Structure 1
Amino acid sequence: MSKSKPPPPGIYVPTVLFFNEDEDFDVPAIKAHVLRLAQAGLTGIIVQGSNGEAQHLSHEERKQAISLTRETLDENGYKNVVIIAGCGAPSARESKKLCADAKEAGADFVIVLTPSVWVKRMTRDAILAFHREVADHSPLPYLIYNFPSVTAGINLESDVILELSDHPNIVGTKLSCGSIGKLHRLTSAKPSSEFATFAGSSDVLLQGLLSGSAGAIGALPNIVPKLHMNLYKLYQEGKIDEAMKLQAQLGQGDYATSKLGSISAIKALVSQNFGYGKEYVRTPLRMATAEQLHGPYYDKLVELMTLEKSQQVPHGELN
């Protein structure tokens, strides 16, 4: 089996998924959001990332979310925008089914969390065996998603990820652990042209790029995608001082978003400032309250969104 190619370097966003008050899909809002992100120049979209409420969806709904994303991109001339589908599940059997569904629905890559229901049984050998088994059966190239906050504290070591990177269908990883040291160990062992290592949040975007990352996959581009693409362009042009100033603002914005309530707050901010969608989430998540959406953290994000609206989309090839 020849080695699969990794996703192109750049800025990716795990999209929020918009619902109506009855928790059915708000299809116009979903499509409006995908289109705004594509128009901002983002490299790719993750459907059913941690912000996409994948665990709250049926298999058919997960396929529909991917299909809606692909349809929106294709019908608006953005066929080059990459789709990565979240296919994590408690069992290898279900993850393999989700990978097959992702291919059928139009995704280009899959990204898979380590199972964590039986956390004490997830030894090094069990983790290696799980990812290899699912990657063996995935019809799409495969990224490993390391996010200790949602996997009961399981935090993959760089040695484990590097061992998995030798698999012919495993082509990258997203590090939501926030460790630049781990990221640098991976990139110094394998360049992004061979194995794409992505920072998992906007607050280490530039730091990751300086350490050889393939870019970032983060939640904040849901709100301010053009700012992220402009930082990426500044980095590529070698304008590190300018990039660092923008990085400081994005780091503040990333922190502010988490303090406001993350998923529902992102939806509320998008709805209030870009004219589509509502803040509805599926329970047990809770909607952001009016009390949450005010104060210094909210003000910081309003500043960022005002700056976002003044930005031009970077032109030219960014990878």
Structure 2
Amino acid sequence: MSTPPPPGVYVPAVLFFDENEEFDVPAIKQHVLRLARGGVTGILVQGSNGEAQHLSREERKTAIALTRQTLNESGFENVIIIAGTGAQSTRETKVFNEDAKDAGATFALVLTPSTWPKAMTIDNIIRFHTEATDASPIPTMIYNFPGVTGGLDLDSDIIYTLSKHPNIVGTKLSCGNIGKLQRLTSRLAPSEFAIYSGRSDTFVHGLNAGSAGVIAALVNIAPRVHVDVVRMWREGGEEREKAMELQAMLGHADWASSAVGGIGGIKAVVARHFGYGAKEGWVRGPLQPANPAKLQEDNLSYKILVDLVSLEKAGNGLPN
């Protein structure tokens, strides 16, 4: 039976492009290193924030290999790479799982196909994940994100059934359903099946419900803050109360990151405040780059993110 990834903070890394929608390799490498130095347990390459569906097969392999190489060259061999490998066919998902292993990933995160939603019955969902994992050279995890699968939402019974596969070792719940998370954690130990909150606004709530940690987009902006939350929560007592204060801030910032433009907005905030990548937040179409009007000081959502950046740069602790 395969071992799940360890508990902690994981980041679905954004992938930086130039104005021609080509890889901005220097920015990608700088981002990977800032995340690693921020203390993340692992990096998810080609999650939804990594625009996986916009990449060719070769680009997917390049992104994973570049991330692994960048980490290893700077002494971060211990930082885990999870690769998003979900595709619209079982056949292609199997290929992506093999490519992920060859490029340096330790785990695969598999999104359920959604082109034919009416065909994705419970039996077919289970069959897809089972067949893809049977052929996978690395352990897989179930990625549940109704927002990018046309509303297709795996319930706790489906995920629990899949958890019995010896090579399926965890799940990322971007549905934000804490009830679902707790139903799973109450039946499955993190040592056998790791259950991660998929959003920063459910981070501490997930920890309270027994999660193994978080895999969340906002970590792209503030890895240290998220790592501090885990540390405070684990210490308990007054520190756990501080973790809840930070959770409130993360809840507002999670909402704000969507309000300033989602993936493009996150890239633009990182570029503006950490000095790498294009300030336009280039993405691949049909996504849109960041809207400058939403990144002005008088925009409340942007101000919330600026406060989070300030806290990230200040290091440990809460704002005064």
Equivalent runs, 1:136-147 vs 2, <5 Å: 136-147=134-145
Cα distance between partner residues in 2 of 1:273 and 1:263: 16
Cα distance between partner residues in 2 of 1:189 and 1:153: 26
TM-score scaled by length of structure 1: 0.97
Unaligned regions of 5+ residues in structure 1, if any?
Answer: 314-319
Residue in structure 1 matched with residue 306 of structure 2 by the alignment: 302
Equivalent runs, 1:116-195 vs 2, <5 Å: 116-195=114-193
Residue in structure 1 matched with residue 287 of structure 2 by the alignment: 285
Pair 1:8 & 2:18 matched: no
Q: Counterpart of 1:45 in 2: which secondary structure?
A: strand
Cα distance between partner residues in 2 of 1:254 and 1:31: 24
Cα distance between partner residues in 2 of 1:312 and 1:186: 32
Q: Counterpart of 1:247 in 2: which secondary structure?
A: helix
Residue in structure 1 matched with residue 89 of structure 2 by the alignment: 91
Equivalent runs, 1:239-254 vs 2, <5 Å: 239-254=239-254
Cα distance between partner residues in 1 of 2:117 and 2:316: 46
Q: CA RMSD in A?
A: 0.8
Equivalent runs, 1:201-212 vs 2, <5 Å: 201-212=199-210
Per-residue deviation at 1:240? 1.6
Corresponding letter in the other structure for 1:68:
L
Residue in structure 1 matched with residue 275 of structure 2 by the alignment: 275
Q: Counterpart of 1:11 in 2: which secondary structure?
A: strand
| 1:189-230 Cα distance to aligned partner (Å, 9 max, x none) | 001111000000000100000110000000001001100000
Residue in structure 2 matched with residue 61 of structure 1 by the alignment: 59
Cα distance between partner residues in 2 of 1:157 and 1:221: 26
Cα distance between partner residues in 2 of 1:137 and 1:292: 45
Aligned length: 311
Cα distance between partner residues in 2 of 1:126 and 1:110: 20
Per-residue deviation at 1:290? 1.0
| 1:244-277 Cα distance to aligned partner (Å, 9 max, x none) | 0011001111010011111000000000000000
**Which of 61, 76, 82 lines up with 1:78 in the alignment?**
76
Q: Counterpart of 1:51 in 2: which secondary structure?
A: helix
Per-residue deviation at 1:9? 0.4
Q: Percent identity?
A: 59
Cα distance between partner residues in 1 of 2:301 and 2:218: 14
4+ residue segments displaced more than 3 Å: none
Per-residue deviation at 1:18? 0.4
Per-residue deviation at 1:312? 4.5
Corresponding letter in the other structure for 1:245:
E
Compare 292-301 and 76-85 and name the one that shifted more.
292-301
TM-score scaled by length of structure 2: 0.96
Residue in structure 2 matched with residue 316 of structure 1 by the alignment: none
Residue in structure 2 matched with residue 37 of structure 1 by the alignment: 35
Corresponding letter in the other structure for 2:10:
Y
- Label 1:249 to 1:41 Cα distance change in 2 as closer, same or farther (>3 A): same
Corresponding letter in the other structure for 2:250:
L
Per-residue deviation at 1:166? 0.3
Q: Counterpart of 1:291 in 2: which secondary structure?
A: helix
Corresponding letter in the other structure for 1:262:
G
Cα distance between partner residues in 1 of 2:135 and 2:316: 42
